[in-house]
Amino acid sequence: MERACGELTHFDSRGRARMVDVSGKDITRREAVARAEVLMRPETLDLIKTGGTAKGDVLGVARVAGIMAAKETGRLIPMAHPLNLAAVSVHFRLRDPDAVLIETRVRSEGRTGVEMEALTAAGVAALAIYDMCKAVDRGMVVSNIRLVEKTGGKSGTYRREGEEPWEG
């Protein structure tokens, strides 16, 4: 269940930002899945498919960028806890005629969830695609970064309605 606006966890009773104390939480297996999209000209997607960009393997670089971003989330997002991640994966789907779809999956055993790590990985992977292709298409749009699923912890499971699971 979503919290009401007056119950945001990253603010104290006076409205000051704070890092949530998770020391009393149980250690559980936690996993999160996030997605993002990069919209582009069809010619740009064709370059990604054929490896025709001047900077090299667009999706390979974006995969590494997403993994690195998940590992650095505690340094990038002010109130995110630094976490010991067990696994991070970044997958892509090319959607003709004009989009790269990104899915990230992050797992840990800990006291707090990995939603921010999955979202950060998806966003940075998308930005890496933009960076790799901007010389040929500055009009690309990074869009629709969202949490698709999270499991583990006191709040249990969340699944976004309307999201189809990815096969393989």
pLDDT tens for residues 130-153? Answer: 999 999 999 999 999 999 999 998
What pTM was estimated for this model as a whole?
A: 0.89
DSSP 138-165: TT-EEEEEEEEEEE-STT--EE-TTPPP
Nearest alpha carbon to residue 158 among 32, 25, 6, 35: 32
Catalytic residue among 12, 26, 96, 131: 131
The encoded tokens of residue 50 equal 């054929």
CA angle 13, 7, 28 (to 5 degrees): 110
Asked if 131 is an active-site residue, the reply is: yes
pLDDT category at 68 given cuts 50, 70, 90 is very high
Q: Tell me the pLDDT tens digit for each residue of 14-56.
A: 788 777 778 878 888 999 999 999 999 999 999 999 987 777 8
In degrees and rounded to multiples of 5, residue 103 shows phi and psi of: -130, 130
Q: Give the least confident one: 5-14, 20-29, 56-65, 81-90.
A: 5-14
